[in-house]
C-alpha cells in the first residue's frame, strides 16, 4: 500500500534571495525614544516582484538567542524585554498585486513605566503561496518564504553593555577549513551590534593575520555565536587576541590556538 504525505517547509531567508515578495528597506528597524515620548511609528516596504498576485501573512513573534543554542521565535511577550502587545501592525494579511509596493505599517505605544534599555520583537512577513513544490517518493514538499524583520527600541540614552566570553572553541570543518566559534553574552540592558575579529601572532610576537570583522546583534541577556574562519595559517600553536567591538567599548581575550 502506498501513502502520500504533504510536508510544508518554511524558510527564513534574507531579503536579497529571489522570491516573489521582497522587503525593500531592510530586516532591522531601529528606534530611539525618550521617557517623555514613548510612541513609535514605522513601515516595512514590501514589493511583489513575481508574475502573479501574492498573499502575505503578517504576525509578531519574539526572538531569543540562548547561549550555545539555536535562535528561537517564541510567542510575543515571552520575556521581560519583549515589546509584547505594544507592537501593532495595520494588517494581518493582504494580497499584493504584481509589481505593487505596499507599506506594512507598525506602531509602538510603549508603557512609560518601562525601565531604560533595549526592547525588541520581530514582525514576520510570510508569503502564503509556496515558492517551490517538489514531489519525491510520495512526499509533496512545499517551500515557503517568511521574513523576520527585527524591530528594536532603545529607551533612554544608549549605554555600551558589558560583554562576557562564554565559550571559545576551535573546530576543524574540513581538510582545508577551520573555524573559531566565539560565544559572547550581553550582560547589560542595551543591545549592541558587535564586531569580532581575531589577531594571530607567531612565537616572536609578530602579527600574522587579522580576520575580517564578524558582525552580529547582541540582545540584553542573550548570546550570539561568532564563527571566525581560520584560513591560510600553517599548522602550529599561536598566541591570539579576540577583540569584540561594540563601537562604545572593546572587550579582548587572549587565547592559545593550535591550528591542525
Is-contact 234 208, C-beta < 8 A? no
Give pLDDT, residue 112.
Answer: 82
Grid coordinates standing for 129? Answer: 503561496
Residue 177 has pLDDT above 60, yes or no: yes
Digit-coded pLDDT (tens) for 91-133: 999 999 999 999 999 999 988 888 999 999 999 999 987 555 5
Structure confidence at residue 55 (pLDDT) = 93
Residue count (the chain): 260
Residues 12 and 141 in one domain: yes
Across the range 55-80, mean pLDDT stands at: 95
Main-chain phi, psi angles of 84, to 5 degrees: 55, -140
- Name which of 101, 89, 111 is nearest 42 in CA terms: 89
CA 158 to CA 248: how far, in whole Å? 10
Convert the pLDDT of each residue in 2-39 to its tens digit: 333 333 344 554 444 456 899 999 999 999 998 777 89
2 is a domain residue: no
Q: Can you give the residue range of the structural domain that contains 48?
A: 7-155
Check residue 141 and give its pLDDT. 54
pLDDT in tens, 123-152: 999 998 755 555 555 555 566 789 999 999
Mean pLDDT, rounded, of the chain: 88
Residue-wise pLDDT for 221-256, tens only, equals: 999 999 999 988 898 999 999 999 999 999 999 999
DSSP string, 41-104: EEEEEEEE-SSS-EEEEEEEE--B--TTS--B--BTT-STTB-GGGEEES-SEEEE-TT-EEEE
Rounded CA separation 73/87 (Å): 16
130 within some domain? yes
Last-in-domain residue among 122, 155, 188: 155
CATH of the domain at 118: 2.60.40.10
Report the C-alpha gap between 189 and 173 in whole angstroms: 35
Q: What is the mean pLDDT of residues 187-194?
A: 97
What gap in Å lies between CA 37 and CA 29, rounded to an integer? 18
Residue 115 sits at φ, ψ, to 5 deg, of -75, 155
Give the whole-number percent of the chain exceeding pLDDT 70: 87
120 and 185 in a single domain? The answer is no
| Residue 12 to residue 143: CA distance in whole angstroms | 10
Cβ contact 26:152 at 8 Å = no
Which residues, in sequence order, are bridge partners of residue 221? none
The answer to whether the Cα torsion of 46, 49, 55, 61 is positive or negative is negative
Residue 232 pLDDT: 87
Neighbours of 25 (CB within 10 A): 14
Domain boundary among 109, 131, 155: 155
| Nearest of 8, 6, 24 to residue 147 by alpha carbon | 24
Q: How many independent structural domains does the chain possess?
A: 2
* Residue 1 is assigned to a structural domain of this protein: no
* Distance (Å, whole) CA 222 – CA 133: 36
Beta-bridge mates of residue 72: 64
Q: What is the DSSP string of 145-176?
A: EEEEEEEEEEESS--PPPEEEEEEEEEE-SSS
Q: Which residue from 180, 184, 53, 60 is spatially nearest to 128, judged by alpha carbons?
A: 53
Please tell me whether residues 134 and 173 are part of one structural domain: no
Residues 119 and 238 reside in one and the same domain: no
Amino acid at each position: 500500500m502506498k501513502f502520500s504525505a504533504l510536508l510544508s517547509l518554511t524558510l527564513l531567508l534574507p531579503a536579497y534571495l529571489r522570491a516573489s515578495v521582497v522587503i525593500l528597506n531592510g530586516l532591522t528597524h531601529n528606534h530611539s525614544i525618550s521617557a517623555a515620548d514613548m510612541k513609535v511609528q514605522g513601515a516595512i516596504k514590501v514589493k511583489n516582484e513575481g508574475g502573479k498576485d501574492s498573499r502575505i501573512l503578517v504576525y509578531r513573534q519574539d526572538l531569543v538567542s540562548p547561549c550555545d543554542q539555536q535562535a528561537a521565535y517564541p510567542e510575543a511577550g515571552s520575556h521581560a524585554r519583549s515589546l509584547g502587545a505594544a507592537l501593532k501592525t495595520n494588517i494581518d494579511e493582504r494580497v499584493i498585486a504584481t509589481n505593487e509596493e505596499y507599506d506594512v505599517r507598525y506602531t509602538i505605544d510603549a508603557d512609560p513605566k518601562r525601565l531604560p534599555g533595549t526592547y525588541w520583537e520581530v514582525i514576520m512577513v510570510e508569503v502564503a503561496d509556496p515558492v517551490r513544490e517538489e514531489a519525491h517518493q510520495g512526499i509533496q514538499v512545499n517551500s515557503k518564504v517568511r521574513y523576520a524583520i527585527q524591530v528594536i527600541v532603545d529607551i533612554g540614552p544608549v549605554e555600551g553593555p558589558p560583554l562576557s566570553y562564554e565559550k571559545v572553541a576551535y573546530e576543524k570543518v574540513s581538510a582545508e577549513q577551520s573555524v573559531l566559534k566565539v560565544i559572547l553574552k550581553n550582560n547589560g540592558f542595551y543591545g549592541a551590534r558587535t564586531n569580532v575579529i581575531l589577531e594571530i601572532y607567531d612565537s616572536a610576537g609578530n602579527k600574522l593575520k587579522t580576520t575580517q570583522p564578524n558582525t552580529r546583534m547582541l540582545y540584553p541577556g542573550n548570546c550570539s555565536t561568532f564563527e571566525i574562519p581560520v584560513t591560510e595559517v600553517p599548522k602550529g600553536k599561536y598566541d591570539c587576541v579576540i577583540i569584540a567591538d561594540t563601537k562604545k567599548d572593546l572587550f579582548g581575550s587572549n587565547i592559545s590556538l593550535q591550528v591542525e
